Structure 1
Amino acid sequence: MTARIEQIVTSGPVTVDDEVFTAEVNTWVVGDDEAVIVIDPANDAEAVLKAVDGREVMAVVCTNGRDNIVSTVLEVSADEELGDAPILMHRGDRSLWRDYFRRLAKEIDDEELRSLEPDQYLEEGGTFEIAGMQLEVLHTPGFTPGSVSLYGESDGVLFTGGTLWRGRPGAHGDVYPDLHTQLNSITAQFGQLPADTRVLPGGGEETTVGEEADRWESWYSLQQASSDEE
């Protein structure tokens, strides 16, 4: 059985530099009838687990370390019978992870959360497989320092997290934390991919690499506008 891809859309708050935004997030559940991986289990663990529907969660993958993404990882990774699935994230977002769990430790008075770490750190070029789909890790910083995308070459799919959305780079509201780096990530990592590669973003509608490539040059005006506002 080939892997199938299911989408769950949730909405919730995300804090960036002490400013709170409301963000709609795509969670992707990838697998077959027996096992899945969960990509970006944001905001609502119950909704994500409903989509998992009792299948074994092999891994929980965070494409970035923002609080709306990591807020549900413990619930989604836990299984009473099988034990916890590993939580994967890039080391570049370790400080975001630590900030969130230190705040949570204080709020609920659980000191063990202060020392909690992801189970594995994703690295550029690393690969993992689910239901016959092999996914390669692409480090795509900019949205956050440790943002990653996941490329399934044989299946023609690209999970871009906050790096690339339909029609524009991913943002917090209209805020781009490091747009120059983000645009470099998009062009360097995605520019050589087949035009018909499906882009499954961390927010908004599906698109393709080719459709977005036609817009890339225009996005540098966003960078200039951002510089003018500073």
Structure 2
Amino acid sequence: MSTHSNPAIERVVTSGTFSLDGGTWDVDNNVWIIGDDTECIVIDPAHNPAAIMDAVNGRTVTAILLTHGHDDHIRYAGEFRELAKAPVFLHKDDWMLWHDVFPGVDPDNSISDGDTFTVAGATLEAIHTPGHSPGSVSFHLSGEGTLFSGDTLFQGGPGATGRSYSDFPTIIESIRTKLLTLPEHTVVRTGHGDSTTIGAEKPQLDEWIARGH
């Protein structure tokens, strides 16, 4: 099989629940697959490991990257890890959330700001963007003008900060100093819902701050 000159980016939408602080909500999650015909990286394999493996379609999964430790993003990561035979990466500041779901078991690796992951000739760079959770990470695929923002930045505003371990001033600082500095054409592929761009979100920063206080 031929390989793409640029990595393909695929989205799988899965459905399930998110639980925190005694509440449970129905959610649809975006699962992102980046790769070529032979290998790929999977970001946030939520809810439905079998459907995600169908999308992987026999390719080698080189890494499972988690944008943060909330249970809708990680609850099925252990099962997907077994199916894909691939290591799980999660920022150390969210390991307490992982341990809530998987007591006594650690992720395979931690993620630090600036870490890079290469797949299909392209490089993803980890950007530590705390606020939605302490260990939230966005992944910048600069060669493709793409950012995988997890639940840090959405179309129309920052991720939620009303629950445990989250902080509104921190997420605003992360977005302002680390994400809105990226090129305005950068496509933001989010953890839930529709994609947006840095240019579309940047003018709204002051409005978010006013709304958040």
For Structure 1 versus Structure 2, the TM-score category normalised by the shorter chain is over 0.9
Task: Work out the CA distance in 1 between the residues paired with 2:50 and 2:203.
Answer: 38
- 1:184-218 deviations in Å (ceiling 9; x for gaps): 11001012211000101111111100001011111
Tell me if the contact between 1:134 and 1:152 (Cα under 8 Å) persists in the aligned partners. Answer: yes
Other structure's SS at 1:210 match: helix
Question: Counterpart of 2:42?
Answer: 38
**1:56 has 2:60 as partner:** yes
**1:90 has 2:79 as partner:** no
Aligned AA (1:162): D
**How much does 1:221 deviate?**
2.3
Q: Select which of 215, 218, 221 maps to 2:204.
A: 215
Q: Select which of 24, 43, 66 maps to 1:20.
A: 24
Unmatched 5+ stretches in structure 1? 103-114, 225-230
Give the aligned CA root-mean-square deviation in angstroms. 1.4
Other structure's SS at 1:214 match: helix
**How much does 1:142 deviate?**
0.8
Aligned AA (2:102): F
Question: Counterpart of 2:149?
Answer: 160
Question: Counterpart of 1:132?
Answer: 121
For the pair shown, the structure with the greater C-alpha radius of gyration is 1
Task: Work out the CA distance in 2 between the residues paired with 1:31 and 1:87.
Answer: 17
Aligned residues: 207
**1:171 has 2:160 as partner:** yes
**How much does 1:50 deviate?**
1.2
Unmatched 5+ stretches in structure 2? none
Task: Work out the CA distance in 2 between the residues paired with 1:142 and 1:12.
Answer: 23
Name the TM-score, length of structure 1 as normaliser.
Answer: 0.86
After TM superposition, the runs of 4+ consecutive aligned structure 1 residues lying more than 3 A away are none
Aligned AA (2:86): A
Other structure's SS at 2:211 match: helix
Question: Counterpart of 1:70?
Answer: 74
Tell me if the contact between 1:57 and 1:77 (Cα under 8 Å) persists in the aligned partners. Answer: no
Other structure's SS at 1:120 match: coil
Task: Work out the CA distance in 1 between the residues paired with 2:26 and 2:149.
Answer: 19
Name the TM-score, length of structure 2 as normaliser.
Answer: 0.93
Other structure's SS at 1:42 match: coil
Question: Counterpart of 2:100?
Answer: 99
Aligned AA (2:106): E
**How much does 1:223 deviate?**
1.7
Question: Counterpart of 1:184?
Answer: 173
Question: Counterpart of 1:105?
Answer: none
Task: Work out the CA distance in 2 between the residues paired with 1:141 and 1:11.
Answer: 25
Other structure's SS at 2:169 match: helix
Q: Report percent identity of matched pairs.
A: 39
Tell me if the contact between 1:59 and 1:77 (Cα under 8 Å) persists in the aligned partners. Answer: no
Other structure's SS at 1:10 match: strand
**How much does 1:74 deviate?**
2.1
Task: Work out the CA distance in 1 between the residues paired with 2:143 and 2:9.
Answer: 14
Task: Work out the CA distance in 2 between the residues paired with 1:148 and 1:23.
Answer: 20
